A and B are shown apart, each in its own frame.
Chain A
Amino acid sequence: MSAPSREIHLLRYVPGHSYLHRMWAGTKLLAVVAIDIALVARPGWPAQAVVWVLALTAFFTSGVPATALPRPPRWFVLLVGLDCLLSIGSGGSPSIHLAGISIELGGMLEWWRITSLALLVLAMATLVAWTTPMAELTPAMSKLVTPLRWLRLPADEVVLAISLSVRCLPLLLEEFRVLQAARRMREPTLPQGLGGRIRYAHDVLVTALASSLRRAKEMAEAIEARGGAEGFTTEPVRLTGIDAAALAVVAVTVAAVALLG
């Protein structure tokens, strides 16, 4: 029997009652955006350390089990490892001496810093996804972009595009799963060699792209038929003590990043 396919769980909600689950979705989005902007502006190690502590504390107190953590496929880990090795070629100080050979580690340290930053951004987005039902994201985003409406910018269209992208992700993954299964049914043995693998990827990706474009067109027509992107219903926001405390922690964190980074 063939091995079961590795299932992908992106942006899936884990039900719970922790303070993160009870927090308004807008507070979480605001926190992630503020910290991300600060981190990208000041991406030094001390600043990252502060945010890592915050992210890990949030994870361990969120009630989300460790089994929710993504398990990247082996090929991905190998590629990242190879990338790390290649970064040594960039050179730079400091350097170490091994068996009479001098190895400059500056490039690799820079690689670690950027990779850590990427992981941190991903970790915070994942925390929001784990603790926020999808249905709460669109009204929260709609509320947060209110200043754009004052400037007569297409805020509703932007919110709609983002929320549809997030909501369609599971659909896309399911279509991709069916596509791969259909491909396996038609050609049960995976093609050998680089040419065969490229042809395989081409078949699946082109069909996925064609199907997604068709689905997107149908969805756009359905939205137009129902009156377009206007008229988001936003419930009044009820901020609690948890939100106030979270925003205070975020303000302190952003200040620490700005100072330390």
Chain B
Amino acid sequence: MIRLEDVGHVYAAGTPWARRALRGVDLTIGPGERLLVLGPNGSGKSTLAWVVAGLLAPVEGTATLHGRPLGDVPGATAMTFQHARLQLFRPTVEADVRFGTRLDNGAVDNALEMVGLDPTVFRSRRVDELSGGQQRRVALAGALVRRPRLLVLDEPLAGLDLPGRRLLTTVLARLNREAEVAIMVVTHDVEDAYRLADRALVLRAGQVVADDDVGAVVGEAQP
């Protein structure tokens, strides 16, 4: 279980450019939970995602996984970023999914199947020849191959066409159901909220202003 207690973060603290991104955030994410983080641009969503992924040490409060600081549990969380091209480090799909691990072909194929890519077709394909949606799924496979307990996705549907959005939404739902991976989706778009999560949290100016069932939160947010 991931627990954030009174977490606050200030970028460039102690300089003229200091900017507070989070303030007093309390959050618990249970096993297999599907959480949606909503909020306008600059509300602190991405900072929260970085903290939960263990990539950023908050300057205030604590962020722990089963009582241990998040940054001290490598591999427990995985994150994919908005721009897939910044997460692909190897020329071919197979090499990229295996990157940073010592896994065999079976594990790589399994990860590709989980994200809906046929290994026999995609294993040897070059990553720069893939579409944006396919690149995003390769990045997702690269994150899943480590078998994280929580997957953090920053704007996973941004820039995808309608079929691409539907496909990725289905893949995420299946991952959560079959692999029991908890999922935290960060987005400013409520359109796909119902299909992505059961619970939603709304951030405004770095503070949590709502944390409830997705139906209640999205219903309130829409006019």
- Check A185 against B53 for contact (C-beta < 8 Å): yes
Which chain B residue has the least Cβ–Cβ distance from A188?
A: B74
Which chain A residue has the least Cβ–Cβ distance from B12?
A: A7
Which chain A residue has the least Cβ–Cβ distance from B72?
A: A1
Beta-carbon contacts under 8 Å, B77-121 to A: 78-79, 81, 83, 85-89, 99-100
- Check B86 against A179 for contact (C-beta < 8 Å): yes
Residues on B with beta carbons closer than 8 Å to the beta carbon of A189: 74
Beta-carbon contacts under 8 Å, B125-176 to A: 128, 142-143, 146
Range of interface residues on chain B?
Answer: 35 or more
Q: Let me know if A224 is at the binding interface, CB within 8 A.
A: no
- Check B15 against A9 for contact (C-beta < 8 Å): yes
- Check B63 against A67 for contact (C-beta < 8 Å): no
Complex CA distance for A12 and B100, rounded to whole angstroms: 35
Mark the stretch among B22-30, B54-62, B193-201, B209-217 that contacts chain A: B54-62
Q: Let me know if A192 is at the binding interface, CB within 8 A.
A: no
- Check B83 against A207 for contact (C-beta < 8 Å): no
Out of A3, A175, A186, A207, name the residue touching B100 (CB < 8 Å). A186
- Check B69 against A1 for contact (C-beta < 8 Å): yes
- Check A186 against B99 for contact (C-beta < 8 Å): yes
B195 to chain A, nearest CB (A): 25
Residues on B with beta carbons closer than 8 Å to the beta carbon of A4: 56-57, 59
Complex CA distance for A214 and B72, rounded to whole angstroms: 35
- Check A182 against B16 for contact (C-beta < 8 Å): no
Complex CA distance for A210 and B11, rounded to whole angstroms: 28
- Check A1 against B15 for contact (C-beta < 8 Å): no
Which chain A residue has the least Cβ–Cβ distance from B59?
A: A4
- Check A12 against B70 for contact (C-beta < 8 Å): no
Residues on A with beta carbons closer than 8 Å to the beta carbon of B58: 1
- Check A1 against B63 for contact (C-beta < 8 Å): yes
- Check A181 against B81 for contact (C-beta < 8 Å): yes
Which chain A residue has the least Cβ–Cβ distance from B18?
A: A67
Q: Let me know if B32 is at the binding interface, CB within 8 A.
A: no
User: Considering residues A7, A181, A185, A188, which has the most beta carbons from chain B within 10 angstroms of its beta carbon?
Assistant: A185
Residues on B with beta carbons closer than 8 Å to the beta carbon of A187: 99-100
B65 to chain A, nearest CB (A): 11
Complex CA distance for A67 and B53, rounded to whole angstroms: 30
Residues on A with beta carbons closer than 8 Å to the beta carbon of B53: 181, 185
Range of interface residues on chain A?
Answer: 20 to 34
User: Considering residues A1, A64, A179, A211, which has the most beta carbons from chain B within 10 angstroms of its beta carbon?
Assistant: A1
Q: Let me know if B122 is at the binding interface, CB within 8 A.
A: no
Beta-carbon contacts under 8 Å, A156-202 to B: 175, 178-179, 181-189
Out of A12, A64, A65, A181, name the residue touching B50 (CB < 8 Å). A181
Residues on A with beta carbons closer than 8 Å to the beta carbon of B81: 178, 181-182
Beta-carbon contacts under 8 Å, B13-63 to A: 14-17, 50, 53-59, 63
User: Considering residues B15, B69, B86, which has the most beta carbons from chain A within 10 angstroms of its beta carbon?
Assistant: B86
B4 to chain A, nearest CB (A): 12
Given that A1-B71, A182-B86 are contacting pairs, would A68 and B16 also be in contact in the complex, using a CB cutoff of 8 Å? yes
Which chain A residue has the least Cβ–Cβ distance from B73?
A: A188
Residues on B with beta carbons closer than 8 Å to the beta carbon of A210: 85, 128
Given that A2-B71, A185-B143 are contacting pairs, would A207 and B89 also be in contact in the complex, using a CB cutoff of 8 Å? yes
- Check B50 against A183 for contact (C-beta < 8 Å): no
B82 to chain A, nearest CB (A): 8
Q: Let me know if A203 is at the binding interface, CB within 8 A.
A: yes
Q: Let me know if A256 is at the binding interface, CB within 8 A.
A: no
Beta-carbon contacts under 8 Å, B203-222 to A: none
Residues on A with beta carbons closer than 8 Å to the beta carbon of B54: 1-2
Which chain A residue has the least Cβ–Cβ distance from B15?
A: A67
Across the A-B interface, give the 8 residue pairs with the lowest CB-CB distance, nearest first: A188-B74, A187-B100, A2-B71, A186-B100, A1-B69, A1-B71, A1-B57, A182-B87
**Residues of chain B having any CB pair with chain A under 8 Å:** 11-12, 14-17, 50, 53-59, 63, 69-72, 74-75, 78-79, 81, 83, 85-89, 99-100, 128, 142-143, 146
Q: 15 A-B residue contacts at CB 8 Å?
A: A1-B69, A2-B72, A12-B17, A175-B83, A182-B79, A182-B89, A185-B78, A185-B79, A185-B87, A185-B143, A186-B100, A186-B142, A207-B89, A210-B85, A210-B128
